[in-house]
Amino acid sequence: MKLVSSYSMAWDYLRTSLVSHYAKARSRAEDGERGASAVEWVVITAVVVIIIVFVSVMLVDVLEKKATQACNSINTAGGTTANGNCTG
């Protein structure tokens, strides 16, 4: 029961925080701070893109290593593919 309560509290905090930030962004745009807000969004977007690229590169690296391990295990066990061996 406490787990549901924790999720509920976290969801309420997130929703309240997003509504607050949205209201600030709207008021800044009306006050002539539209350029500063645009720069903030560009910086935030750049950080998110960098994180996504980093995670993607790491994921590809891990998948390639696992595929090579599987291929080596197949070759060691004497298993073959259509062309005679597993290539990683």
Residue 81 lies in a domain: no
- Is 51 found in the same domain as 28? no
Average pLDDT over residues 8-21: 74
Crossing angle of the two packed helices 34-76 and 2-30, in degrees rounded to 10? 140
47 backbone dihedrals φ, ψ, rounded to 5°: -65, -45
Lookup result for tokens 């980093």:
54
Q: What is the tens place of the pLDDT at every residue in 32-74?
A: 666 667 778 888 889 999 999 999 989 988 998 998 888 888 8
Residue 88 lies in a domain: no
Residue 4 lies in a domain: yes
- What range defines the domain where residue 47 resides? 35-76
Which residues, 6 or more positions from 74, have their beta carbon under 8 angstroms from its beta carbon? 80, 81, 86
Query: How many separate domains does the chain show?
Result: 2
**pLDDT at res. 32:** 61
**pLDDT at res. 22:** 76
**pLDDT at res. 3:** 47
